[in-house]
Structure formats: C-alpha cells, structure tokens
Amino acid sequence: MDRTERFYKIQEMLKRQRGVTMRELQGVLDVSRSTLCRDLDYLRDRLGVPVIWNHKLQVYGLDQSDITRQELSGIWFSEQEIYALLTMIELIKQLEPSGVLAPRIAPLKERLNQLLEDGTGCAQETMKRIAIVPVAQRPVDAALFKTLVDALINRKRLIIKHLGRQSGQVINRDISPQRLMYYRDNWYLDAFCHLRDDLRSFALDAIQDTAPCEKPAVAADEQTLKAFFEDSYGIFNGKPDKLAILKFTPFRAQWVAKEVWHPEQSGKLLPDGSYLLEIPYRVATELIREILKEGPEVEVIGPEILRQQVSGLVSQLFKRYA
C-alpha cells in the first residue's frame, strides 16, 4: 500500500482500538519500524493528528482531549495523482492568459508540492522535467479575458467589437456567451449571436472591445451546443454535410491510425499498410490546412470538390516556388 493509504489505515486503527502497539501496526501495514516511525511523526507534526505514545502501556493512541484534530485534514492523493495535478496546474498557468485562476490555485500547488517533497524529496526537480509548449498561441488581453469569464459565469449579455478577418471589418455583435473553448493552443468564445440569430464561435484575439448589455442573456442547452460546435470538423461549426475521405501512406499511417481528428471519424488499415480516414465536415478551411501539413503523406480521395480545392492550392504553391 502507498503512503496515503497507510495514513488512513493508521488513523483507523488508532480510532478503533484506542491503543495500538508498534508490532500490531507493522503487521497490518507491512513496513519497517523506521518507516512506521516516520509515518507517525508526519501524522503528528505535519498533519496535526494528535498521535501520542503511552509509555506505561507501550501503545500508540489519539489524544482524546483533542477530538477536532483526530480526522485527517487536507487533500490526499498518491504520488502519481499529485504529479498529475501539478502538471494540470502548470497547464492552467500556460493556457490562462489573465491570471484569474493563478492566485486561487497557488495554495493548492504549494500544498501538493509539500506533500510530494515530504514523500520523495524531489518535487521541484521533478516538475522541471515536465514542459508544456503551446504552438502558434495568439496572445489575449488579460482584462478582456476577465470580462468574458465574468459574463460567462454570471450569464451576462455583451456587446463586442469583433474583427472579421476575411472582410477586414470590425462589426458590433450583441452576444450571449455560452462557453469558453481552448482549441489548438488558442481561446475561442462560443456564443449566441443576436445579430445573426444563431450560434457562433469568436476567436478571443479578434475581439477588440466589450461593453455591457442590459438585455437578458440567452442560454442554449448542452445538446444544442454539442450538435453545433462539435459535430463538424474543426472550429468551423454547423451540421456536417460532407464526408472527407483521406488516404495516408503506410509510413504516416503509423501515427494517424492512433490519432483522433474528429469524434465521429472512422478509419481502417488497407492491405498495403496505408490508412483510410473518413471525417465529417461542413467548411473545408481548417481541414484543408491540416491536409496540406501532411504534404505527400496524404491524398484526398473524396469528395471531388475537396480534392479540387487542395489541388488548386498545391498548384499555387508550386507556382510560387517554381
């Protein structure tokens, strides 16, 4: 059993029997005398459990005059769970641009570090071995992020100034925020757009300003959000109406066969070792970008319109480098 489990077992035995010998504890926990002594010291000195030694009876017990401290306090995890949580905290620090959460999770991180240091003595050194490197991350204004989080949590409606990258125009949008999404190292706001009378996704770095709106916000149910934002490929939303069929070379198939490009994808290995991947989509923009990244390792089998779009871009690319 791990150290956390031993702590709970020791506490249980001390509460149930009022007096437990060293030999009894060793028999149940199956640890050496020195390990057990360290566990008892840690329970008493670090965790505040009132463990006492009755010299006359030669047993360990709990100080009955201090009932409030007899329960284990704090958060208890195994070493593996602590490492996982610390990794999540580092991930939050990398992803969250405004520092909204950082002060709130700092005490938790300090506590987890302490538990890990006491158990292994190398928490800080170990965390140096974990690196999270966002790629092509676009910066988001901290004040803007806080405003959007506040509106999202408190169900507030907002007026945003949004830059349409294709048109180059900044348009005022009246929106009801639904959820924040971190996708491919960038933040997006899923919202009901009252101008378009439909759900839309807005890249946070394209939102230039916000203003409060006194009208009540509209809330979409989870099923509607999932159908609109998750059924089609990528960030371009809506119900999919096309099926991309991609054939990867045997070499690239070693990776693609294990990747999830879309929750509703289907794929199969072919006799020659190549891999056929089928993906539902609506707007091809992002899908084409991913196809081009694969270079000669992939071929678009269908639909024909997607094959033509990719072929046209490859021709333009060839002309530029010719």
Model pLDDT, residue 181: 85
Model pLDDT, residue 36: 87
Q: Within this chain, do residues 224 and 255 fall inside the same structural domain, yes or no? A: no
* Assigned domain for 237 exists: no
Model pLDDT, residue 283: 87
Q: Within this chain, do residues 112 and 168 fall inside the same structural domain, yes or no? A: no
Q: Which domain holds residue 280?
A: 242-321
Counting the structural domains of the chain, the total is 4
Q: Is 252 within 8 Å of 273 (Cβ atoms)?
A: no
Measured distance CA(178)–CA(191) in Å, rounded = 5
Number of residues that make up the chain: 322
Q: Within this chain, do residues 222 and 159 fall inside the same structural domain, yes or no? A: yes
Q: Is 243 within 8 Å of 278 (Cβ atoms)?
A: yes
Q: Within this chain, do residues 108 and 149 fall inside the same structural domain, yes or no? A: no
Final residue before a domain boundary, out of 228, 250, 285: 228
Model pLDDT, residue 303: 96
Q: Within this chain, do residues 179 and 253 fall inside the same structural domain, yes or no? A: no
Model pLDDT, residue 186: 84
Q: Within this chain, do residues 257 and 311 fall inside the same structural domain, yes or no? A: yes
Q: Within this chain, do residues 26 and 100 fall inside the same structural domain, yes or no? A: no
Q: Within this chain, do residues 167 and 197 fall inside the same structural domain, yes or no? A: yes
Q: What is the pLDDT along the chain (322 residues), one digit of tens a residue?
A: 667 778 878 888 888 877 889 888 888 888 888 888 888 888 888 777 888 888 888 888 888 776 555 455 555 555 566 666 676 676 666 666 656 666 766 776 676 666 666 555 555 666 666 666 777 778 888 888 888 988 988 899 999 999 988 888 999 999 999 988 888 878 899 999 999 999 999 999 999 999 999 888 998 888 888 878 776 666 666 788 999 999 999 999 999 999 988 888 999 999 999 999 999 998 898 899 999 999 999 999 999 999 999 999 999 999 999 8
> How far is Cα of residue 166 from the mean position of the Cα atoms in its chain?
30
Q: Within this chain, do residues 306 and 260 fall inside the same structural domain, yes or no? A: yes
Q: Within this chain, do residues 252 and 209 fall inside the same structural domain, yes or no? A: no
Model pLDDT, residue 174: 95
* Assigned domain for 285 exists: yes
* Assigned domain for 235 exists: no
What is the CATH number for 8?
1.10.10.10
